[in-house]
A and B are shown apart, each in its own frame.
Chain A
C-alpha cells in the first residue's frame, strides 16, 4: 500500500516538470468549475426545456424570435425591483401559450399592468435577484419573504391602490372589515397618505347604560355577546364569571341618567302583536334592523343592531323614550327621529318588548355589587381597553392600546412567535392570530372574534398590504382613494336632515350611506310637487326593492323646509331645469318616442310604462315619470346616465339628440293617467 502511494507520488510529482504539469492541470480543472456551474444551472435547463416545448408548435417561429437566451432581468430602480424571474418563466409575455399549463412556461394571465413596468416581485414577492428555484421562491437564510400564496395576492394591489378596486374583492372586504369590525379602535393603522384608518362601526357609549338595560343583561352580554345577537361585532373577551360580574357592577354603578331619557309616556306599552308588526313593517325598521326568523335566517339590514331578543335587553321606559327621539340618548345615532305619536310608540315598544329569549338571562343571578367588586370592575375595564371602543364616563380612551399595524406586512419573521404546528410564514401568523388570538399565550387581551375563514383571509390580505413598500412608495406611484367627505348640509334644513339621519341611507356630495339613492343632484332631477308628496307619503319606485324609505310624520313646515333646500341646493350644473318644458310636446314627437321606447331601445326590458303589457323589473317604474322627473334631467340621463350617476345600471346608448328629445317627450307624457297636455300642431 505504502509503496503504491510512493510510486504514485513519484509519478505525479517526481520531478519539477511533472509537478508543474499536474498543478497546472489541477488549476485548469478548478478554473472550469465556474463555467460548468453556469452551464448546468437551473435556468439554462428550463430555457432548454422551453425551446424543446415550443419546437413542435405551429407558432414556433414567432416564439423562437421572442426568446432571448441567458439570464433576463427587469430592473426598476424606482420600485427597488431587480427581477430575474423571466430567466426561467420564459413564456410570461406570450399570449399564445394559454394552453400551456406546465410551469415555468405558462403565460401570465391578463392583468392591467405590464411586466416591464412593474416586474414580478412587486406583486408576488420572493427574491427577484435569485437565479435558483429554491432561492427565488422560498424563504432562505438571506431572504425572508417567500412567494406570496395566491390567496393573498391582492394585498400587493393594495400597496399602491389605496381605494377599492373592482378586481380585488378580497382586499376591499378586508379593508372594510378592519374599519367595520373595529380593529382600528385598538390598533393604529397609519396610511401612507398621512391619514389614520378610521373605524366605521359606532360602539355605543356606556356612560348611561343603566338607563337602557339591566346589570344581568350586561353580564350575559359580556360572557357571550353572540348568544344575544349572532350578528354582533362585539368580540368575546372570554371573561371569567367573576370578571363579568365585576365589570357589569362597575358599568351600572358608573352610569349616570340622561335627562328625559326615561320620560313616562301617556300611553302604556300595549301588547298588540298584529298592530305592532304592521307598524314595524310600515316604518321599514327591517331596512336597518335584522330579526332572526324561525328558520334561523336573518331578515333585515345590518345598519342597526339585531332585534331578535331586544325584549330581554332594554327597559320599557328607555325604549319608549328612544322611539320618541333617539337623539336624546345618543346625539350621533344613525337612527332617524321618526316623529311617532304616543300611541304608535306604545304599540311599537309593546311589539319589540315581546321579542324575548327566556334562556338568555335564566342562569344569571347577581347579588348586589360590593364596593370592592366595583373597583375591581373598573380596573378590568381599563385593563381590557373597553374605552378604546366605548365611551365610558371617568375612563380615558387609551392611546396605543394595541400594537400599531401600519407596517405589519413587513414584520420580520424572526420577531414572531408561532404556534406549534403552524407554518413559519407571516401570512400564516397573521391568519392564526386573527383566528385564535388567545392561544398565543396566557394573559393576552385580544378578544375572540367570530370571523368566517373567508373573512380571515380577507383581513390577512388587507394587513399584508400594509408594509414597507406601501409606506415608502413614491407619491407618483400611489393611487389615492376617494375619501369620504365630511359634507354637512347647512341651516335649518341641515339640522332637520341630521335629525332624520338622512345620511344613514342616502349619499350626498360624497358623504353618507349607500342603501338609498344618491341625492346630490336631486334638485335637478325631480319636480317639486312630487318631492313634497313623496316626503309626506313615500312609495317605492322600484318594485323589486325590499328596503324602502320610511314614512316620517312630517309637519307641512318641515316638508317645505326640506323641499326648498333640496330643490335649491342639490342642483347639477349641467342640467338646466328650465331648459325643457314639462308639457307641450307634439303628438308626433311623443309617438316617435313611444316607438323608440318599445322598438329601437327596448326599454320595456327593464322599465314599466304600461302596467298591462310591460314587465321590466330592474329600473324604476315609469308610469308616473312625467310627474316625477324634470324633462331636462330625463334628456341628460338618456344622453349619458353615467355622468349623472356613476355606476348606474342604465346603459349609455349614445342616443342622437333627436332620439333623446323624442323619448323625453314620450316619458314626460307619462303622468299616470292624469290628463295629458298635448300641443296641437
Chain B
C-alpha cells in the first residue's frame, strides 16, 4: 500500500520542471498525500490489545536524570513499574508515555510485563535543556495516574563541556568509581563538589566558577587541592564546562530554565 503511495508522489516530484503539467502534478501530490495519510492511519490501527489488569500507582524504576545529546537516544532505557495499592507489581496494566516536544518513545507505551515493568527507549528533542516526560497508567476507576521523569539534553557547548569534564574533572568531582575509572574523591581531604550538587553550585555565579576553574581553589579561598586550569583550558573551554555544570545541576540552575513539559 505504502509503495503505491510512494509511486504516486514520485510522479509529483518529477513534474515541476514542466510548467503546463503542473496542475495534474499538484493533483497527484494531493492524491498522494491523502493516500499516504490513509496508509499511515491503517498502520496506526494495529490490533489494539486490551489491558488485563489495572494498577493504582506508577513509579520510575530506572532511567531518570540521564544526560544525552540533543535529539539522541538516552544511554539507558527508561523503565517504569505499575504497582497496586500494596505496592506489589501489576502485570498487564496499560502504560503510556506522554511526549514532550520532540521526544520520541520506542515503544510509545504498552502493557506491564510479569514484573510490572514497561521499558522504552527515549530520544530527546532537538533543544538543549530539561525534558519532563510523563508515564501514565490507568487505574481501576479509569483515571490516569502518572509519574514525572526528568531527562537532560545537552547542546553543543554542554557536550564539549562533558568531554572536558571526562578528561580533566570527573576523576575527583565524581564520587562514583567504575572498573575503568577509579574515583579520587575519597582520597581528598577537602571533598570536591559533584557537579550535580545544585544546592552549592547554583549559588555560585558564572564569574565565580570561571575564577575557581581558571585560577584554582585559593582564588575563592577554597581548597588548594583544586588546581588552576586557566593555562590548560581556553576561555571557551571554561565556558563550555560551566554550561555543562549548569546543565546537570540538581536542583536545576536558575528556576529550571526552559522546561519542555506537556502539562
A interface residues with partner B (beta carbon < 8 Å): 98-99, 101, 106, 109-112, 141-142, 144, 149-153, 166-170, 414, 418, 420-421, 424, 453-454, 457, 544, 546, 599-602, 605-606, 615-618, 642, 647, 649, 651-654
Q: Assuming A141-B25, A605-B188, is B69 touching A170 (CB within 8 A)?
A: yes
Residue of B nearest to A299 (CB): B179
Contacting B13 at CB < 8 Å: which of A414, A420, A546? A414
- The answer to whether A615 touches B187 (Cβ under 8 A) is yes
Q: What's the nearest-Cβ distance from chain B to residue A257, in Å?
A: 41
Q: What's the nearest-Cβ distance from chain B to residue A206, in Å?
A: 34
Chain A residues with CB below 8 A from B258, complex form: 99, 101
Decide if the interface of chain A is mainly helix, strand, loop or mixed.
loop
Chain A residues with CB below 8 A from B123, complex form: 151
- The answer to whether B172 touches A605 (Cβ under 8 A) is yes
Q: What's the nearest-Cβ distance from chain A to residue B239, in Å?
A: 7
Chain B residues with CB below 8 A from A142, complex form: 16
- The answer to whether A602 touches B224 (Cβ under 8 A) is yes
Chain B residues with CB below 8 A from A414, complex form: 10, 13-14
Chain A residues with CB below 8 A from B127, complex form: 101, 106, 150
Chain B residues with CB below 8 A from A106, complex form: 127
The answer, yes or no, to whether B86 is at the interface (CB within 8 Å) is no
The answer, yes or no, to whether B210 is at the interface (CB within 8 Å) is no
Q: Assuming A169-B69, A615-B187, is B231 touching A109 (CB within 8 A)?
A: no
Residue of B nearest to A106 (CB): B127
- The answer to whether A166 touches B126 (Cβ under 8 A) is no
Chain B residues with CB below 8 A from A453, complex form: 73, 106, 121
- The answer to whether A617 touches B187 (Cβ under 8 A) is yes
- The answer to whether A109 touches B6 (Cβ under 8 A) is no
Stretch of B91-99, B134-142, B156-164, B193-201 that contacts chain A: B156-164
Contacting B167 at CB < 8 Å: which of A110, A544, A647? A647
Q: What's the nearest-Cβ distance from chain B to residue A454, in Å?
A: 5
Contacting A150 at CB < 8 Å: which of B75, B126, B260? B126
Bound Cα distance A330, B168 (Å) = 40
Residue of A nearest to B162 (CB): A169
- The answer to whether A111 touches B71 (Cβ under 8 A) is no
Contacting A546 at CB < 8 Å: which of B164, B171, B180, B228? B180
Q: Assuming A454-B75, A615-B187, is B102 touching A150 (CB within 8 A)?
A: yes
The answer, yes or no, to whether B225 is at the interface (CB within 8 Å) is yes
Residue of A nearest to B236 (CB): A112
Q: Assuming A110-B243, A170-B72, A414-B10, is B163 touching A606 (CB within 8 A)?
A: no
The answer, yes or no, to whether B43 is at the interface (CB within 8 Å) is yes
Chain B residues with CB below 8 A from A112, complex form: 236
Bound Cα distance A475, B12 (Å) = 38
- The answer to whether B157 touches A141 (Cβ under 8 A) is no
Bound Cα distance A454, B229 (Å) = 33
Q: Assuming A170-B69, A599-B224, is B236 touching A109 (CB within 8 A)?
A: no
In B203-241, the 8 Å CB interface with A consists of 223-225, 227-232, 236, 239
Residue of B nearest to A600 (CB): B224
- The answer to whether A606 touches B69 (Cβ under 8 A) is no
- The answer to whether B182 touches A544 (Cβ under 8 A) is yes
- The answer to whether B156 touches A110 (Cβ under 8 A) is yes
- The answer to whether B164 touches A109 (Cβ under 8 A) is no
Given contacts A602-B227, A651-B168, A653-B231, 17 further A-B contacts (CB under 8 A): A101-B127, A101-B258, A141-B16, A150-B70, A150-B102, A150-B127, A153-B126, A414-B13, A420-B1, A421-B2, A454-B72, A544-B181, A618-B171, A618-B172, A649-B167, A651-B227, A652-B231
Q: What's the nearest-Cβ distance from chain B to residue A392, in Å?
A: 37
The 5 nearest A-B residue pairs measured at CB: A150-B71, A150-B126, A151-B71, A615-B187, A101-B258
Residue of B nearest to A456 (CB): B73
- The answer to whether A649 touches B168 (Cβ under 8 A) is yes
Bound Cα distance A423, B250 (Å) = 37
Bound Cα distance A454, B6 (Å) = 29
Most chain B beta carbons < 10 A, residue from A144, A166, A170, A599: A166
Most chain A beta carbons < 10 A, residue from B171, B228, B232, B258: B232
Residue of B nearest to A149 (CB): B71
Bound Cα distance A606, B159 (Å) = 26
Bound Cα distance A115, B160 (Å) = 19
List 7 A-B residue pairs with CB atoms under 8 Å apart, sorted by A's residue number: A151-B70, A151-B72, A166-B164, A167-B159, A457-B72, A546-B180, A605-B227
Chain A residues with CB below 8 A from B9, complex form: 424
- The answer to whether B160 touches A167 (Cβ under 8 A) is yes
The answer, yes or no, to whether B15 is at the interface (CB within 8 Å) is yes
The answer, yes or no, to whether B257 is at the interface (CB within 8 Å) is yes
Bound Cα distance A169, B165 (Å) = 14
- The answer to whether A109 touches B2 (Cβ under 8 A) is no
Chain B residues with CB below 8 A from A651, complex form: 168, 227-229, 231-232
Bound Cα distance A529, B216 (Å) = 37
Chain B residues with CB below 8 A from A544, complex form: 181-182
Chain B residues with CB below 8 A from A649, complex form: 167-168, 171
**What 1/0 flags go to B61-96 for Cβ under 8 Å of A?**
000000001111101000000000000000000000
Bound Cα distance A618, B257 (Å) = 35
Bound Cα distance A457, B159 (Å) = 17
Bound Cα distance A587, B29 (Å) = 88
Bound Cα distance A191, B177 (Å) = 40
